[in-house]
Amino acid sequence: MIRAAASRLRRRLPLPLRRTARAGLLAWGWLTADLRQEPDILVVGAQRAGTTTVFRLLSEHPALCRPTVDKGTGYFDDGYRHGRRWYRAHFPLRRSARDRITFECSGYYLFHPLAAERIARDLPDCQVVVMVRDPVARAYSAHRHETARGFDTLPFADAVAREAVRTAGQADMLAADPEATSFAHRHHAYLARGDYAAQIARYVTALGRARVHVVDADALFADPVEVYVDLQRRLGLPVHRPAEVGRWNERPGTPLPPDLAAELRHHFDAPDAALVPYLGRVPHWREESLS
């Protein structure tokens, strides 16, 4: 309850005060980095697939401890150049964590081509949580999100039609140059981010299947408590049943035109089928079409 109240207070602070507080916390974190606890659990994405909801749920768990500033650090994607001390600065002091497990939630880790191997190298014993969602709905939600932030100006239909051109060569460039960043890869890959199985495979290769936990966000919102309890058991956590589960950070929008929705659904036929072995079942969003 205290942690939830502190989180609400942070969100209510004016933006300049939040930035000042964040800078102060990170400066103190840097000075005391050797005394800080790195995470054992990483929620790695996918973007717009319920990661904020899972972050809120994990933040309320009495056995877990969230980062001290933001829900994630972005270290294993674009922030890796800052170094390990910078990373540790984001987490609680070992003394204040009091034997709780630390976690973070950074939604670009799943899609970044180098994040899995970096995590395996620096945190070889960690567990990762992968959130997957209807890739058509995810793409449309991501576009609304990027547009609202001023990162895209194209209408959704044009953005997905031009995605291959806009992002051409960017993943290879990131994989080849550890110092590189790519605005287009991060903000304009609406369809590519929905090819979940290919991204999950990197984590399975790097960490092993037993430490990669895939959660169907559509199933989570259909039966939130039971799906969340199942995730806790897979992570080896004592079960904590939340009082409520909201859809935090959702961006409502108008429905997709049926013809575009059908075209995109067909686009994901093969990627959705490839996801089945990781989920152990047909994705929730495909169940209706099979019944």
* Section 63-73 average pLDDT: 92
What are 206-243's pLDDT values in tens digits?
A: 999 999 999 999 999 999 999 999 999 999 999 999 98
Q: What pLDDT is attached to residue 102?
A: 96
pLDDT in tens, 4-38: 444 554 556 576 666 676 777 888 888 899 999 99
Quick one: pLDDT at residue 3? 46
Q: What percent of the chain has pLDDT over 90?
A: 80
Q: Which secondary-structure segment (H or E) carries 212? A: strand 212-216
> Cβ–Cβ contacts within 10 Å for residue 86, how many?
17
* Cβ-contact 92, 37 below 8 angstroms: yes
pTM of the predicted model as reported, rounded to 2 decimal places: 0.91
d(CA 289, CA 281): 14
Mean pLDDT (the chain, rounded): 91
Out of 3.40.50.300, 3.40.50.920, 3.90.1170.50, 3.40.50.720, select the CATH number for domain 2-290.
Answer: 3.40.50.300
Give the number of other CB atoms < 10 A from CB of residue 26.
17
φ/ψ (deg, to 5) at 173:
-65, -45
pLDDT value at residue 6: 46
Phi-psi category of 253—alpha, beta or left, where left has phi over 0 and alpha has psi -120 to 50?
beta
